[in-house]
Structure 1
Amino acid sequence: MKAAILALLIGVTGATAPSPRQAASIDGRYCGRLWSNGVLVEAITVLKLAGDGRLGGTYEFVDGGGRTSGTLSEDPPGEGLARTLDWQDMYGSGKLSITLSPDFNGFTGTWQDQTGGPNELWDGVRC
């Protein structure tokens, strides 16, 4: 009986996709790392969910002695925990594919440039 109730709750709540209430909690600042120019560097990614369901934001990473910043945008709007965003900064543009944790306390992902390669690490945890 408990298993049936649990299965019903998981089915009703859509355990793999955020509800509108949960989706608002995607918004936030995530401290992590990304692979840049052959080195794993510190990065801060800020994500914000727009009213139309598109995920966007900004990021900044350590670049030699300074920092480089860029923007993130999603088009079309995604659904669920796996999202694909476009990134753009002074070095170019490309795709960032992330998977958010169900509690939205972090994400893991990979990025690639406009040529489609390589697939490099990009992650973060809420900070």
Structure 2
Amino acid sequence: MKAAILALLMSVTSATAPSPQQAASIDGRYCGRLWSNGMLVEAITVLKLAGDGRLTGSYTFIDGDTRTPGTLTEDPPGKGLARTLDWQDMYGSGKLSITLQPDFSSFTGTWQDQTGGPNELWDGVRC
């Protein structure tokens, strides 16, 4: 009985945990927060590395009783763990500067609007 329960737990754990290959890739979904309208709100950021080396993606964040979507693009393609992306949503556009952990398990960053200010928090952990 104990062996069956242990086997079941191990299969559930391995089914939900990212594989080593997934964990070693930028591509993925990151759950975190961003600063919006005077408060930290829940955000989901999806990142994908395109064939030409550009980082692209999308995001949604809690906006009152709804979720606001947006897009992310990198131009020109970056290199390494520090990247700068352009964000755009219904409120405007600007720059998002992120630094990824070497295993791509999370990122920390700040965003600015098109005027260059302010620098506000945006982060995420792979989920």
- Same-fold status (TM-score > 0.5): yes
> Which residue of structure 2 lines up, in the alignment, with residue 25 of structure 1?
25
DSSP-derived class of the 1:58 partner:
strand
> Which residue of structure 1 lines up, in the alignment, with residue 111 of structure 2?
111
Normalising by structure 2, we get a TM-score of 0.81
* Number of aligned residue pairs: 106
Q: Mind listing any 5+ residue stretches in structure 1 that lack a counterpart?
A: 1-20
Quote the sequence identity (%): 87
Q: Deviations over 1:36-78 (max 9, x none)?
A: 0101000000000000000010000000111100000000000
In structure 1, what is the Cα distance between the partners aligned to 2:112 and 2:123? 14
1:124 aligns with 2:112: no
In structure 2, what is the Cα distance between the partners aligned to 1:79 and 1:47? 15
Normalising by structure 1, we get a TM-score of 0.81
Counterpart of 1:83 in structure 2: which amino acid?
R
User: Which structure is larger by alpha-carbon Rg, 1 or 2?
Assistant: 2
Q: Mind listing any 5+ residue stretches in structure 2 that lack a counterpart?
A: 1-20
Q: Deviations over 1:60-119 (max 9, x none)?
A: 000011110000000000000000000000000000000000000000000000000000
Moved over 4 A (4+): none
Matches within 5 A, 1:29-68: 29-68=29-68
